[in-house]
A = this chain, B = another copy of it.
Amino acid sequence: MAERSFLGDMLTTLFERRQADQAASDERSLPDLCRALLDAEGEVSGIRLAQTILDRYGTLDDAGRRDFFTFLNDDLEINVNALGAAAARYAETNDLKDYQAMVAQTETRRWELFRRLNMPMGATRALVEMRRHLLVALKDQPDLKRTDIDFRHLLRSWFNRGFLVLRQISWETPASILEKIVEYEAVHAIESWDDLRRRLYPQDRRCFAYFHPAMPEEPLIFVEVALTQAVPDSIQGVLAEDRAPVEARETTTAVFYSISNCQQGLTGISFGNFLIKQVVEELKAELPGLTTFVTLSPIPRLNAWLRTQPEDDTTARVLANVATEDEVRDTAAAYLRHAKTSKGLPFDPVARFHLGNGAQIYAVHGNGDTSPNGIQQSSGAMVNYHYDLTKIEANHERFQQSGEVALDDAFQQSQSPAKTRIIPGRQRIAS
């Protein structure tokens, strides 16, 4: 019975559309246009100038972009000597004016440029795309990092959690959004519109995404959820074509079986943690019968890691895909619990993400993903991480302090001594 908010319409706004056409032809160079935007001209004709710059940028090839980034990086930099001097002066005088003078030196002119570039309709999306290009260029030209620091800072400010909007993605969602879900799904590829329908339409399936109001046609991150009556042990079961849907009201378990970031240009700005927790709240409110929130997650670096280890028979069998289901499971469990980076964090990036969020390992499965990709990366192993709301905070705290991998009681009990597994080159461990 919720009233649609006035804002509901707010973003329809034919208004904004109209200004798209106006990017004028202007013969100045890109750097000159940027300088003009930063100067007085930018104050009165800023939107037009910004549009011109973004349009011009859109026509650049790799080399052109590199030149542009070099301009940003070198010409619009902090004056470090002036900053040092200003800091010294303020340290001495403790005077408010000197403080302001110092602060003025801390900000690069890139910042102001980005802010002014963001004025036209569609600019936010163009800037996210520009950062994507910058991340590519950064590989060859590490000192562009200075520009990226500003970019990331700005995007963190703009894509603040408070500005994100959660939306359910369903079979009622416009096709223009759905085709992006298909495109961006990074975990279990969506093979056809029928496959997509199976993930969105049945009443025991859900999908949620974050959007930003300034680029409403672009999901930022999305999660696919299966509502079930038990914790599933394989993705095949979840995605089966012929399964019979369950009454949503009779389910007890929400399974997050796929989480995909959509925007490479937002690398380093993290939404996943918020998304999962907000979806948990959302689902609990809609379906009070839900009591268990778990993932069904890939173990993407298992085999890559195993290959770096001294090989024993089991490892060899796992890598050759001839191990038993139990062998795969126990090997994967050992990996998840004990394989660490040099900083003492879990070696597996997905594990790092969920354990870092405060989740705990619930169960490991040896036959969880029999797709070519699943076999290739983890010989079929998958894992459930459990978001136990009563333990998230404590788990997170211990993970932060000591890198401790939290284990669910259910998991601990399943680990009998008989199941211990030794991975050579490491101390004997209970997997």
| Distance of A125 from chain B, by nearest CB (Å) | 10
Given A4-B4, A7-B211, A213-B11, residue A392 in contact with residue B44 (CB < 8 A): yes
Work out how many copies of this chain go into the complex: 4
Interface residues of A in 66-121 (CB under 8 A from B): 80-81, 83-84, 87-88, 90-91, 96, 99-100, 102-103, 106-107, 115, 118-121
- Classify chain A: how many residues form its interface, as a range: 35 or more
Q: Is the CB–CB distance between A162 and B19 below 8 Å?
A: no
| Interface of chain A, main secondary structure | helix
Q: Is A357 an interface residue (CB 8 A)?
A: yes
Of A141-149, A290-298, A343-351, A402-410, the one touching chain B: A141-149
Contacts of A273 in B (CB 8 A): 43-44
CB-CB under 8 A for A282 and B163, given A171-B176, A393-B45: no
Q: How far is A100 from B7 in the complex, measured between Cα atoms in Å?
A: 40
Within 213-252 of A, Cβ neighbours of B (below 8 Å) are at 213-214, 216-217
Question: Which A residues fall within an 8 A CB radius of B?
Answer: 1-19, 40-41, 43-47, 80-81, 83-84, 87-88, 90-91, 96, 99-100, 102-103, 106-107, 115, 118-121, 123-124, 142-143, 145-146, 149, 154, 156-158, 160-163, 165-168, 170-179, 193, 196-197, 200, 211, 213-214, 216-217, 273-274, 277-278, 281-282, 285-286, 357-358, 392-393, 396-397, 400
In the assembled complex, 7 residue pairs joining A and B whose CB atoms fall closer than 8 Å, in A order, are A2-B14, A19-B278, A43-B273, A47-B274, A87-B87, A118-B161, A165-B213
